Chains A and B, each alone.
Chain A
């Protein structure tokens, strides 16, 4: 199964298996990794699953939809490599993905 490394804001790393076809958000929530709230359960409607993708992985995660774009624009502390993790579906190519959590979700 592909692996994802989630790095909390305080630096704590979590390496977990995330099945192909599940979202990167789900991978965090199902493994009780703190730092991703996912209030809307993956509907691209809350922006509380915000993450920063490590630059070398960013292009591989695909393009943001316009809905993701607008939800992200209201999230706090966004950067160029920001994504909503519920909108990234796990694939074999994403094996080894590394991402970081922001200071807070809101």
Chain B
């Protein structure tokens, strides 16, 4: 069973003039109504121009193969901060926080190589023990027979503990990481205390101050295997400007946090809405978990879009893209493209090729942490299945107002006593 097809909504979407469709509206993701909009674009205008939106004019790329083409053509589609970076929202220069995700080669390549050893296979094997220990403790402390928020008690706790481990960040202060990560990505119109770029910047300056202090400690100590120490001693990163340093720290905090958190929440939600799939998992967890984890990441598509800016004229899906145009890859849509993925709206825990999805992007910016994210989810589900044959979702999820992070803010659950 999948989310019910809402006929009224489908009709409403069908009635909008094609050129007025605007998939950048964050409410579509807050209300989980994005499906019919993208279905229509994939069918009628796979590369679609939206002339007027809150975020200015932009191209939407909605089909799997076209997104792949943009992702691998970094010579044409740039990620550079100064051109607009990787989000649909343009930022004034003083609020730009460059990091290697918003750099093109060759600087991107140098910085990325400094960070990637932390998630090399050997290091991952080493992290696995810590992750399992921490996951076990979190799960053992959960209440039975009473309703609690899965997001707060499990999803946030596990990813935040992991992040504190990766940075060797003071463990007791770890929720600061969660806070900074949320502040870094929150939509200023979402109704939180962060209602301007200025306020966002104030909080992130605290983050910078804290990490600068840690950086100073690490740079004066012997190199170690945590991310900060690697940045402090890395040949290409040790002379980062404060802005670049902040950008890189935030990249790693957000990269390793929101995305994995929302996959942990989204996975449980998808299982509870698809009882037959939940049963498959219960019947044979060892066989199902390896294919279920990538399927959860596809189904959730934790990053809704990535943006590029064309630095040359190009053809894409029959459309003519001009130098300077804003091009949005809607991963959430590409992951529901039935020309690339069979029965894409269904959540199926034992797909034949479950890793064939766009959630991590492709090409030179493909997610550095993708195997780490999978590892965390894998261990978490292994430990859950050892303890709880079933976890009941007892209310509706509360979703995030954002067109960038596909977020679940609260998910009420109950573990039978």
Q: Which residues of A contact B (CB under 8 A)?
A: 37, 39-41, 43-48, 67, 70-71, 73-74, 76-77, 102-106
Contacts and interface: CB of A to CB of B under 8 A. Distances in A.
A39 B120 contact: no
B113 A43 contact: no
B109 A45 contact: no
A20 B276 CA distance: 42
A106 B71 contact: no
B371 A43 contact: no
A55 to B, nearest CB: 23
A44 B72 contact: yes
Contacts of A39: 355-356, 360, 362
Given A39-B356, A43-B72, A106 B109 contact: no
Contacts of A77: 120-122
A73 B362 CA distance: 15
- What's the dominant secondary structure at chain A's contact region? loop
Top 10 closest pairs, chain A to chain B, by CB: A104-B121, A45-B362, A76-B120, A106-B371, A103-B121, A39-B355, A45-B72, A45-B363, A40-B362, A76-B121
B112 interface: yes
A48 B122 CA distance: 16
Given A43-B68, A74-B368, A77-B122, 18 more contacts: A37-B355, A44-B72, A45-B68, A45-B363, A45-B366, A47-B366, A70-B109, A70-B364, A71-B364, A74-B112, A74-B116, A76-B121, A77-B120, A77-B121, A102-B121, A106-B121, A106-B124, A106-B371
Interface residues of B, number: 25
Contacts of B366: 45-47, 74
Contacts of B83: none
Given A43-B68, A43-B362, A77-B120, A104 B356 contact: no
A43 B67 CA distance: 12
Nearest to A9: B121
18 contacts: A37-B355, A39-B356, A43-B68, A43-B362, A45-B71, A45-B72, A45-B363, A48-B355, A70-B105, A70-B364, A71-B363, A76-B116, A103-B121, A104-B124, A106-B119, A106-B120, A106-B121, A106-B371
B137 to A, nearest CB: 27
Nearest to B120: A76
A28 B196 CA distance: 52
B363 to A, nearest CB: 5
A106 B355 contact: no
Nearest to B371: A106
B212 interface: no
Contacts of A67: 72
